[in-house]
Amino acid sequence: MFHFELEPRFSDTDALGHITNTVLPVWFEQARKPIFEIFHPSLEPKTWPLIVARLEIDLMAQSYWDKPVEITTGIGRIGNSSFHVIQEAFQSGARIARGLTVLIHFDYKTQKAVPIPENVRAQLAEHVIAEAGS
């Protein structure tokens, strides 16, 4: 499992003073960087091998700008060409959000999904965690 800590910005808040729901997908994407590096260590956009197929986030508690947020990132199901990324965000020890992202190993030239290589699959397997309801 990967851990990422960030300091929310004041501009991440809404009119009620809470962290706005639109920043959670951005934070979760930022925290997926170690997974991106497993597939593509250079992170070169012109040869990027992943595409997002699905993104869902459950907002579980209010959060605020003045305290750090920790995001944990793990791997759920690993298929032939797709895999699940399971993420949770915590603030002051409380879980504020849980997310599921389905990523596909993708060839942009052929516009088709391609199998996840065995060496990448092995690295992903090191970070497998239980999915909700599993």
- Please write the tens of the pLDDT for every residue from 1-29: 999 999 999 999 999 889 999 999 999 99
Residue whose tokens read 């590096």: 37
Architecture of domain 2-125: Roll (3.10)
Going by pLDDT thresholds of 50, 70 and 90, the confidence category of residue 103 is very high
∠ CA 58-61-67, rounded to 5°:
115
pTM above 0.85, yes or no: yes
Tell me the average pLDDT across 84-91. Answer: 98
Q: Is 121 within 8 Å of 78 (Cβ atoms)?
A: yes
